Structure 1
């Protein structure tokens, strides 16, 4: 199974974005993907702000990105763009760090007026890092996600189907490019989608 790295770019200690990203990671783990989570806010701020890619904690994240087959990148929307915290990490990555990887962008915000931030702000940066496969991302209103004390997410019914379908696109995309795709049979993707529909 492909390795997936989920990244939360929220600076908040109790973050709806992080909860959503972890929720998506949980759905992927249920599909038996190897999922690891990184919260950018937990990385050393001095290394991020100084652009110190040699710092052990930063180097570990860069190596995790290099090993991953796919990434789920989540961000709150501030001032019609992705978070500055996420930008500090993206700026530290090698020029083609995302080459050959599938990337699913997620965003949260207080108003649907911010929905285009994924395509007009985040997608170009991800593409500039070498990936040709940025999936159609998904925007979730803040009011449709709540973060529990342990960091788990409760996704409201209004958003749950969209999140499920978004994760299913990632699962389908990875299945189509995996070495096992030719032997899995045409029903493999549908089976994955069915499992995800039951999970949310």
Structure 2
């Protein structure tokens, strides 16, 4: 199994990318193979002009296509996920996430931006035919702190959400491989026929 760690942050380093890397390390410790894709590393001209012939964009799309699951991380700006991430999602085909399990992760300045995941990102992931969209992990800037001496320090509540999210992701992958409905995975509202 391959899990893609997809970072939509335009800056480096960033809280959302560090949180994504932390989740990736936990998945590696649990025996999973992860690969990383940072949208900011893709050629901006090709991305903004949707140059589908660009070799780097083709390679990025192929990497996504091979993954069984995706952990997608973004900062929240002005109550929305990053424009950089939107540019990448826009170049994917309509079924670009078909059959995939997705764990959305975001960081923002305050709890008031938390719903950007549910009302902004989740419908786009569903429109791209994600099989299951798991419960999101949202952290405020004060809950994800980086220091050169201690590295990444997570608030206890976020640490628990990360643990729960990684285990749910793995349980969902195992269920998917066995051909059973993913245990407690939250199906996309659109796939369930429910309003977003």
The 5 Å alignment of 1:140-159 reads 140-147=139-146, 153-159=152-158
State the match for 1:65 in structure 2: 64
| C-alpha distance in structure 2 between counterparts of 1:56 and 1:153, whole Å | 34
Deviation, structure 1 residue 55 = 0.9
Distance 1:7 1:153, change over 3 A: farther
Deviation, structure 1 residue 114 = 0.7
Deviation, structure 1 residue 156 = 2.8
Normalising by structure 1, what TM-score?
0.84
Query: Are positions 1:47 and 2:60 aligned together?
Result: no
State the match for 1:185 in structure 2: none
State the match for 2:84 in structure 1: 85
For the aligned residues, what is the CA RMSD?
Answer: 1.6
The alignment partner of 2:81 has SS state of coil
**Structure 2: unaligned runs, 5 residues or longer:** 181-196
Deviations 1:91-112 (A, max 9, x none): 0111101011101101100100
**Structure 1: unaligned runs, 5 residues or longer:** 182-200
State the match for 2:96 in structure 1: 97
The alignment partner of 2:77 has SS state of coil
The 5 Å alignment of 1:150-189 reads 153-179=152-178
Distance 1:168 1:55, change over 3 A: same
Normalising by structure 2, what TM-score?
0.86
| C-alpha distance in structure 2 between counterparts of 1:146 and 1:12, whole Å | 16
State the match for 1:138 in structure 2: 137
The alignment partner of 1:126 has SS state of helix
Query: Are positions 1:21 and 2:23 aligned together?
Result: no
Deviation, structure 1 residue 53 = 2.2
Identify, as 1 or 2, the structure richer in helix: 1
Deviations 1:87-143 (A, max 9, x none): 000001111010111011011001000111111000000011111311111101111
| C-alpha distance in structure 2 between counterparts of 1:171 and 1:148, whole Å | 30
Which stretch of structure 1 is more off in the superposition, 52-61 or 118-127? 52-61
State the match for 2:37 in structure 1: 38
Distance 1:97 1:148, change over 3 A: farther
| C-alpha distance in structure 2 between counterparts of 1:122 and 1:80, whole Å | 11
Distance 1:105 1:90, change over 3 A: same
CA contact (8 A) 2:8 2:38 kept: yes
